[in-house]
Amino acid sequence: MMEPRLLARLEKKKAQLDALRPLPAAAVRRLDEQLTIEWIYHSNAIEGNTLTLRETQLILETGLTIGGKSLREHFEVINHKEAIEYVTDLAAGDTPITAFHVRQIHKLVLARIDDVNAGQYRTLPVQIGGATHRPPDAWEVARLMNEWGDWLNGPALAVHLVAHAAEAHHRLAAIHPFIDGNGRTARLVMNLLLIRAGYPPTIILCTNRQQYYRVLAQTDAGDSGPLVNFVGRAVERSLTLYLEACTPRRGPSEPADEWLPLRAATVDTPYSQEYLSLLARTGRLEAIKRGRVWYTTHRALATYTDSLPPGAS
């Protein structure tokens, strides 16, 4: 289900991060602060919040009100921070995650925005904009959510944790149990599962919104592979950031390990920038996305080339 090269990198990087534990407190604190801001900004932006990353940071750190922005958008930032704190506390324990916890997360997401529906299953039909998937009728939601909890703590445990978290996110989004706030809640639940398993918080970038919607639609149609790989690449990005911040440096990086834009990485290779971008998007090439630009290393390119059978590309 997951691209084998991506799976191997995830397991290697997770083992490297575990070997560094206990992680340096100062580095982890700075990185957690950075990722929390990014997590809130990107998750809200996917749903249409117009606050910038810097404005989101100012609201969180100073409590400032941003002129020209709605009260709802401000509450979406504050609420998401409180939901992350709840998720982090929950991840530190071993209580099985159930539909009750999903409702508690959603209650925090919609607090002060829609207190009547916060934490309450919808009683009305809904449609997902731009999607062909039709969520179940409202009267089915409670049963389906209980079944989701049974699946999460039973059959889902047999698959790799990253696939487990991605599938849990999709199943929750497909049920669409709430009148609003389903996407934010599903991404929070996904991260709850990842953090509990020792992975860093994973961010779905708003610049990848269309691809995100596309892989969710493919999963609706029965092909979960693209979603699992999409989430896997996001997990790898966070693992890479943590490893870079927490690994002791005893000298400058090797030139082969320096991150290069794909355009620069094509020099002395038979690959075009477009082909390297395809490899990065599908998880076959180790790469990291910063803004809208993909970066890779010469070592990653060599590793990819070495993995190919003779005559393949």
What is the per-residue pLDDT across 92-151, written as a single tens digit (0 to 9) for each? 999 999 999 999 999 999 999 999 999 999 999 988 777 788 999 999 999 999 999 999
pLDDT (0 to 100) of residue 262 = 94
Q: Tokens standing for 218?
A: 């493919």
Asked if the model's pLDDT at residue 155 lies above 80, the reply is yes
Catalytic residue of the set 80, 169, 176, 298: 176
- 312 in a structural domain: no
Indicate if 176 belongs to the active site: yes
Gap between the Cα atoms of 46 and 3, Å rounded: 26
Q: Round to whole Å and give the CA distance between 12 and 183.
A: 30
Query: Do 18 and 121 belong together in one domain?
Result: yes
The reply to whether 179 and 298 lie within a common domain is: no
Please, which pLDDT band fits residue 313 given cuts at 50, 70 and 90?
low
- Domain that includes residue 212, residue range: 4-246
Number of structural domains in the chain? 2
Same-domain status, 132 and 273: no
Ranges of H-type helices in the chain: 4-19, 25-46, 53-62, 71-91, 99-110, 141-152, 161-175, 182-196, 209-220, 225-246, 262-265, 273-281, 298-306
Residue 99: DSSP 8-state: H
